[in-house]
Amino acid sequence: MVADRTPETLVRYGRYDSSLADAVGKCHQPLVPITSELGNTIQYAFFQDGREPYLLMMSQQKDRLVGPLGYNVVLTITSYSDKTNSQVADRFERETAIKLNIRVPEELKSNFTLMGLIFPLFEKNPREAMEALKGR
């Protein structure tokens, strides 16, 4: 972990009308289901430990209903590099065929600032942090 760097979070929104479980199964990263405080949301996560660590989280409404802004899936990636975030997001989109191209107000994206705050916990204790996300 490098203390002088600040985590950056990339948030992308999209519409995906099929099963999120099927899509994340196509991803090279072994995303795992995580517990959600929101009862109508399915979420998956993956933490890449190492020299270029990142945390990827993907969520979808269980009923797959599209909200007023036109999306029903959200991808967040947190790392120390905007470049890493973009590369991981682009690869995720290619592998899963989920189009994450819906524009939303910037205020909506700011709801994910918590990701940068919890990211150091994943670096210090990756296994325990993932177990906590899974609800174990």
Which band of pLDDT confidence, cut at 50, 70 and 90, is reported for residue 23? very high
Which band of pLDDT confidence, cut at 50, 70 and 90, is reported for residue 1? very low
Rounded distance, CA 69 to CA 97, Å?
A: 21
Rounded distance, CA 99 to CA 122, Å?
A: 27
Average pLDDT of the segment spanning 52-79: 89
Name the pTM for this structure.
Answer: 0.86
Nearest-5° Cα angle at 19, 34 to 46 = 35
Q: What domains are there in the chain, each with its CATH number?
A: 8-134 (3.30.310)
Tell me what percent of the residues of the chain surpass a pLDDT of 70. 93
Which band of pLDDT confidence, cut at 50, 70 and 90, is reported for residue 4? low
Average pLDDT of the segment spanning 122-133: 85
Predicted confidence (pLDDT) at residue 61 exceeds the cutoff of 90: no
